[in-house]
Structure 1
């Protein structure tokens, strides 16, 4: 697994940021190149938002998978898991600050393709470090007035 961590301050109270992020569709909306391709439902309180199919463009190749929320702590954390050829875990942590909410995103990426860890790390970091920054900026932009 390859781990990337970054953070940003969002100009909104922790409760609003958590509520916004507590839906699987948010992972798709915030991720560059990711598109929703279907609902899998999954029941529970979130209904359709609990499990969502996606298509993700990586250097022009479509990759299909599923994103779902696998862990939440109200107003503190939401964890999304991605399954498919590029599995991953994205943990969003929320901390109150005077001017809003500090949001830390910890992303862990894997691969179902056999390759040495050093090669996976090089390609994953090169491709995704900027995407993590864009995801955080898109989240912040949701709360700009």
Structure 2
């Protein structure tokens, strides 16, 4: 199982940052390799179930994300099922009017050529994706506050 994690401070209240991440359609803009989000359904726990398309190293991967754990303004946990399996965890911590956001991923790569040949490359690729996703979140939420 591969794992990656990254943290960033966003100069915005936790509620605003959480709301941006909590909207699945925003991830097409936030996460560079997510090319589509569809069939979003609300869950009784406040989370969501949705289908996604993700492009990794030129290979299109599809699957479903389901939120087994959802604590508003604190934590969102997604379980991935499909071409990629694993867990995506977002945590949000208030910090003097700003928010520390941590995005962590634990996942198994698909078998076959992608899993066997590209494993080290895919891990580095996904680490960059986490960092870029958080940078995009910061860039999206902070300017919206000054507008």
* TM-score bracket for the superposition, by shorter chain length: 0.7 to 0.9
User: Normalized per residue, which structure has more strand?
Assistant: 2
TM-score by structure 2 length? 0.79
1:14 corresponds in structure 2 to 14
Across the two proteins, how many residue pairs are aligned to each other? 142
1:73 corresponds in structure 2 to 71
* 2:96 is the counterpart of 1:98: yes
User: Normalized per residue, which structure has more helix?
Assistant: 2
Gaps of 5+ in 1: none
Residue range with higher mean Cα deviation, 117-126 or 53-62: 117-126
CA-CA distance at 1:40 after TM superposition:
5.2
The 1-side partners of 2:122 and 2:56 are apart by 11
For 1:31-110, list aligned pairs within 5 A. 31-36=31-36, 38-39=38-39, 41=41, 44=44, 50-110=48-108
Would the aligned equivalents of 1:55 and 1:63 in 2 still touch at CA under 8 Å?
yes
The 1-side partners of 2:101 and 2:125 are apart by 21
Would the aligned equivalents of 1:34 and 1:57 in 2 still touch at CA under 8 Å?
yes
Residue range with higher mean Cα deviation, 97-106 or 67-76: 67-76
Would the aligned equivalents of 2:30 and 2:133 in 1 still touch at CA under 8 Å?
yes
State the Cα deviation string for residues 64-106 of structure 1 (Å, max 9, x = none): 1122322111211111222111123111111111251010111
CA-CA distance at 1:118 after TM superposition:
9.6
Gaps of 5+ in 2: none
The 1-side partners of 2:135 and 2:129 are apart by 10
1:127 corresponds in structure 2 to 125
- Root-mean-square deviation (CA, aligned residues, Å) is 2.7
The 1-side partners of 2:78 and 2:28 are apart by 11
Would the aligned equivalents of 1:95 and 1:102 in 2 still touch at CA under 8 Å?
yes
TM-score by structure 1 length? 0.80
